[in-house]
Amino acid sequence: ERNHLADALSHVHTQKNGESELTRGLLAKEAVYSGIPFLGFGFLDNTIMLCAGEYIDITLGSALGISTLAAAAMGNLISDVAGIGTAGTVEQTTKKWMGRSSVLSPAQREPSRSHRWVFLGRCVGICI
């Protein structure tokens, strides 16, 4: 009985301090949680960039004689500025749908191993 109590207290202490083991499954889940907001951001960013670039190419491109590539660059600039404005909204919406933004405790997010998985999740999310 003492051993069970000691094990239970050790488990609670470990969870409380956020020192539980970072398993591959937990890190993969964190990567998914980190990548989901970037799905929304990537969709908005590319949609705005394409629409703005096309509009600039059709209107300013012919009026000012700028190239299609210059119009695309201007569309990208508009998209980046819009992305800064919508980033908070996308993250809040994702957090509301998922109930939380992370599966790791603050202490578990510190090791560079977890940073790599979060980075991977974000990269995959924005590429999809």
Model confidence pLDDT, tens digit, residues 40-98: 888 888 999 999 999 999 998 888 889 999 999 999 999 988 888 887 888 788 778 87
Residues 6+ apart with CB under 8 A from 63: none
User: Which residue in 108, 106, 120, 127 sits closest to 34, CA to CA?
Assistant: 120
Q: Are 76 and 70 in contact (CB under 8 A)?
A: no
Residues 6+ apart with CB under 8 A from 125: 34, 35, 36, 37, 38, 39, 41, 42
The residue length of the chain stands at: 128
Residue 17 has pLDDT above 60, yes or no: no
CB atoms within 10 A of CB 8: 10
* Amino acid at position 15, single letter: Q
Output the pTM of the full model.
Answer: 0.63
Residue 7 has pLDDT above 80, yes or no: no
